[in-house]
Chains A and B, each alone.
Chain A
Amino acid sequence: MTAVALLDARPGDDSSQTADAALAAAGDRRAFERLYRANTGRVYSLCMRMVADRSLAEELTQDVFVRAWDKLSLYRGESAFSTWLHRMAVNVVLNQRKTAGRDKQRFGSDDGDMDELAHPRSDRVPGLRLDLEDAIAELPPGARRIFVLHDVEGFRHEEIAEHLGITAGGSKAQLHRARMLLREKLDR
């Protein structure tokens, strides 16, 4: 089953969201707020698991909804609103990755120092066994993105490859690397 099929099957994404999308496209902010309330958890979950940074995930979640608002006129109701929004969320997160890559090129390796300074990982307790969520967050970024897209979100390798601009084989290799690392972390 593809990610799209999985998403379409989700409960709660019914005609009311399509109706709200139409109202929101006409400028109704209350309707858009309802769409936000119905979908924010899914969007935030995707962002959080992809970037493993709470603050950045919140910012990206906002970016997703602002972008959705700007693009609502393009939503034709051919797929569930949550599907449309989810694809947009993936794009926003992956575009952020490209922007961050450009920033890193500018600022060099010291960017890591700055990130650590801005987001100290003080909530981690040394010696405590990791749960899956924590283990995912600790994966290297490339492996984490592909693991989340494939094993959590249900995308196929071909879809992931298209999004990330890599080959399907590269996606598979990264996925297996991610799984191996996760098993090591979880078995610790």
Chain B
Amino acid sequence: MTTTMTCAQVDTQLAEWLEGTLAAPAAHAVRVHVAGCSRCSAALTALDVPLGDAAALPELQPAHDLWAGIEERIATPVVALAARPAAPLVVRRRFGWVAQTAAAVALVTVSTGTTWMYASRVLSKTTNEIAALSRDEIRTQTRESIRSTIRGTLRGEARAVSTEGSLPSIEHTYDLEVGALRDILLQRRAELDPATVAVLDRNLRLIDRAIAESREALARNPANQVIGDQLAVTLDKKLQLLRTAALLPPRA
């Protein structure tokens, strides 16, 4: 006996049927229904045939060469916390972090200056030029240097450096960067679209809350790498947002 199916029932079985994994009785019922139903027959034909061009889509290329960023990252590998030697090698470890911290400070400081420079340039460009400039330069600046810097150095190690008092901590440098960007934003606030400013403020509040939560969690559990990563990502997000905001074109 053949069970008759409705169009709705066939719809739910089509995917399995097309793959040939439907049980024999159900498959037969689908076949019978489709043979007598123009609507389901047409749908089946459309779905069964892969979009012919999909497998032959051409290779895409990034807008710019990514090798420099890759080379920079592979030249300075991040050592896993668990893999680092413990107490007996304190001096050696400290020198390592001093060097890394100095590099990070330099990176962040340079990037702050660059952002200021970009912002100045932005103010003298037309809207279209600004839009193009922003996308390219945010991509190359923010994601490269800041992310690798913060990710690589904030995982608990910055705390050690700051408590020793020998160098400004990464977090302190980060705060300076954020402060500088906030100043740019403050200066430009009146010229930005109010709706955009509202979105910015809302997102900054959310990010600040997330940062505060991560810092509290990290204070309770300083060795937790996941929380450290989360904090780094969140700080990175804030920098990205502020940089984006600092480079937004003025409203028309």
Same complex for A and B? Answer yes
B206 within 8 Å of A (CB atoms)? yes
Cβ contacts under 8 Å, B59 to chain A: 41-42, 44-45
- Rounded to whole Å, the gap between the CB of B192 and the closest CB of chain A is 11
Which listed residue, B51, B77, B199, B241, touches A70 by the CB 8 Å rule?
A: B77
Q: Mark A149-172, 1 if CB is under 8 A from B, else 0.
A: 001101001000000000011001
Shortest C-beta distance, A11 to chain B (Å), equals: 13
Q: Which of B13-21, B110-118, B176-184 contacts A (4 or more CB under 8 A)?
A: B13-21
For B61, what are the chain A residues with a Cβ–Cβ distance below 8 Å? 40-41, 44
Question: Is A114 interfacial (CB-CB < 8 Å)?
Answer: yes
Task: Kindly specify which of A13-21, A83-91, A116-124 makes contact with the partner chain.
Answer: A116-124
Chain A contacts for B18, CB-based, 8 A: 172, 176
Cα distance, A172 to B61, chains bound together (Å):
29
Chain A interface residue count, Cβ-Cβ cutoff 8 angstroms: 56
Chain B residue contacts of A99, Cβ below 8 A: 233
Cβ contacts A116-154/B at 8 Å (1 or 0 each): 011110100000000011001000000000010001101
Nearest A residue to B11 via CB reads A176
Instruction: Provide the bound-state CA to CA distance between A95 and B203, in Å.
Output: 24
User: Is B15 a contact of A118 with CB atoms below 8 Å?
Assistant: no
Residues of chain A touching chain B, judged by Cβ–Cβ distance below 8 Å, are: 29, 32-33, 36-37, 40-42, 44-45, 48-49, 54-55, 57-59, 61-62, 65-66, 69-70, 99, 102-103, 106-108, 110, 113-114, 117-120, 122, 132-133, 136, 147, 151-152, 154, 157, 168-169, 172-173, 175-176, 179-180, 182-183, 186
Can you sample 28 A-B contacts with CB below 8 Å? A37-B67, A40-B66, A41-B60, A42-B59, A44-B59, A55-B143, A61-B62, A62-B69, A62-B70, A65-B74, A69-B70, A102-B230, A107-B206, A107-B237, A114-B199, A114-B203, A117-B203, A117-B241, A117-B245, A118-B244, A119-B135, A132-B51, A133-B57, A152-B54, A152-B57, A154-B55, A169-B15, A173-B15
